[in-house]
Amino acid sequence: MRKSVRSRMGIGAAALAGLCLTALSASAQEKPITTSKDNSDSVKVTVSGELLLDYVWRAREISEFVHPGGFGGGPAGSAVNDFEGFAAIRLNADLSDKVSALIEIGTKRVDGGVINNWGNAASTNIQLREGQVNLTDFLVNDLKAQFGITTWGFDLRGKGESMAFDLRHTQPIAHNFAPGGGTGLTTREGNGVLGARAGTKDELEPVGLVLTYGRDALRVDAVILPAIIEGGFNNADEGLYALDFMYGLDSVGKGSRIGAIIALHQFAAPAGPGGEMMFTIGGGGDFWLMDRALELYAEAYGQFGTVSKPPAGASVKAGGLAFQLGADYHLPNNQNNIHGGINYTYYSGDKDTTANNKMDRFAAYQNIHDLMILEDMYTGFDWDSNYWAFKVDGGFALSLGSGKNNLELSAIVGLARTQATDTFTPGGPSLLTAPVNTKKLGNEIDVKARWLLNKQASINIGVGFLFGSDILKNSMLANGDNRDKSGSELYTIGLDVKF
């Protein structure tokens, strides 16, 4: 699968290290970066970057699907421990008070369906991560234009966990069309579903134009992204065209807002001729009350249109639904940021036992990653459709050494089930002797710690435990693994440095 911007530059990791050292040196000496004398309109050039290095230990039950066929994965595999992350350097050039250009190059943590482990050749491939031109007061006052690889997303809460539109941290939309690895669009998930979800890691590079109009409490985006994935002919491309708005309601509580979006998806579905079109429409509200001590939020999305229109036979219509609602409470006037929350997340699935002309699975560009094993794309299974989860979380901060509240501790408990039954059957490598129907995706407990060395550097530790997962147990048996286990564990420790 070709992407719109892949641009492997054939530079070694040493080149990136050299750029980082140059940037750090310039920062330490407090000297401005100058450009060519022919480019005298360059007002200011800012250099920044990030280095993320995570050690991740995955038990065999997880690595079998996260690392299929390699790095210890597969039915005969074992636990896998490796180093993951990325390094990037960013240049932002202000050409005037209304024109700026940005470029970011570096490595990628996941790409092309796999994890780029540090120490392997793919982990040192330098790529174009971002490249865009930004114009303010474009054509009219208060209108901004962003050309290139866009950073646009629709995140109602602003917490980096979009339910349907975070293109930079997700896979192609067809990832959820046939999650069992086959070509069926409207039948129950089955034997290959866990491997299909967990074993296809990727990050998209959406290219196009985003127009943003903002005045007072109103912001409106017009999104034109014809090349999320460049597939050759237009009908093989993956594109997105959307119109959204956000409206601030500080009169209700500072930071409160409502928002809505309507989006047209273009893609090539499995077993389809390409050029299929589907719509997603939705929105919700995020409300801060009691002097920002209490946050209440809710959002919902529905889908309609055509998922597939084969040359022969009936078209397949979309009918997906997704929503979440929850509350967070921060204890007022507490120095240790004691807080807790509850959340219910829902993504529809297909209940059909035989193919028909409607796909009820919700398919979009979601980035929910509360649970390290079940939901997170980078560390776990990335189960992102056909499930519901009830989650309770909490945390607080302590002072370590000479720092002030620089040790953040948190925990979350999640109960997850598939919305539609998954069916596992004998045949092929499967060790099952009879069909098994289940909805038990599993229960998970995660504990995390974040030690803030300063505002730009932190050490992060995470521990995750999954248990009661019949989906995991039957997926292993269907994969030819005779281990009768319905649980697993995951450990991470990492360093995140920004400059």
Nearest alpha carbon to residue 262 among 165, 168, 145? 165
Q: Would the pLDDT of 24 be above 60?
A: no
Residue 235: predicted pLDDT: 66
**Structural Rg of the chain based on CA atoms:** 23
Do the bridges between strand 358-359 and strand 339-347 make them parallel or antiparallel, or are there none, so unpaired?
Answer: unpaired
Evaluate whether 3 touches 204 at the Cβ level (below 8 Å): yes
What pLDDT was estimated at residue 383?
A: 95
Tally Cβ neighbours within 10 Å of residue 312.
4
pLDDT at 123: 79
Single-letter amino acid, residue 74: G
Give per-residue pLDDT as tens, 220-266.
Answer: 999 999 988 876 666 678 999 999 999 999 999 999 999 999 999 99
Instruction: Give the pLDDT of residue 167.
Output: 92
What is the average pLDDT across 142-171? 94
Q: Mean pLDDT across the stretch 339-364?
A: 91
pLDDT of residue 4: 41
So what's the pLDDT on residue 234?
66
Average pLDDT, integer, range 305-317: 83
Region 133-161: what's the mean pLDDT? 94
How many angstroms separate the most distant Cα atoms in the chain?
Answer: 75
Return the pLDDT at 33.
61
Query: Phi and psi dihedrals of 193, rounded to 5?
Result: -65, -45
**42 vs 88: CA distance, rounded Å:** 23
Residue 69: pLDDT over 60: yes
Per cent of the chain over pLDDT 70 is 88
Average pLDDT of span 386-404: 94
Examine the pLDDT at 13 and tell me if it is beyond 60: no
Closest C-alpha among 259, 262, 212 to residue 241: 262
Provide the pLDDT for residue 232.
62
| Phi and psi angles of residue 194, each rounded to the nearest 5 degrees, phi first | -70, -40
The residue that leads in pLDDT, 301 or 269, is 301
pLDDT of residue 409: 98
Collapse the DSSP code of 386 into the 3-class scheme (helix H, G, I; strand E, B; otherwise coil) and give the result.
Answer: coil
pLDDT score recorded for residue 124: 82
Report pLDDT for 474. 95
Report the alpha-carbon angle 191-274-386, nearest 5: 35
> Which residue from 311, 299, 322, 223 is spatially nearest to 266, judged by alpha carbons?
223
Residue 107 structure tokens: 């490595």
For the ranges 70-79, 114-123, 459-468, the maximum mean pLDDT occurs at 459-468
Q: What is the mean pLDDT of residues 328-349?
A: 95
pLDDT for residue 352 is more than 90: no
Q: What integer pLDDT is reported at residue 22 of this predicted model?
A: 45
Whether residue 73 has pLDDT greater than 90: no
How far is residue 198's CA from residue 220's CA, in Å, rounded to a whole number?
Answer: 35
Pairing relationship of beta strands 276-289 and 294-308 according to DSSP bridges: antiparallel
Mean pLDDT, residues 3-13 taken together: 41
pTM: 0.90
- For residue 320, the model assigns a pLDDT of 95
Is residue 29 scored above 50 in pLDDT? no
Q: Say if residue 304's pLDDT is above 90.
A: yes
Helix/strand/coil (H, E, C) string of 99-137? EEEEEEEECCCEECEEECCCCCHHHHCCEEEEEEEEECC
The average confidence (pLDDT) of the chain is: 88
Is residue 23 scored above 70 in pLDDT?
no
How does residue 42 score in pLDDT terms, banded at 50, 70 and 90? low
> Torsions phi, psi of 168, nearest 5?
-75, -15
Band (pLDDT 50/70/90 cuts) for residue 199 is confident
- What does the pLDDT look like over 83-129, one tens digit per residue? 999 999 999 999 888 999 999 999 999 988 888 888 877 778 899 99
pLDDT (tens digit, 9 = 90+) per residue, 256-293?
999 999 999 998 877 667 778 899 999 999 999 999 99
Domains of the chain (ranges plus CATH)? 13-498 (2.40.160.100)
pLDDT at 482 over 60: yes
pLDDT of residue 388: 98
Query: 195 or 73: which carries more pLDDT confidence?
Result: 195
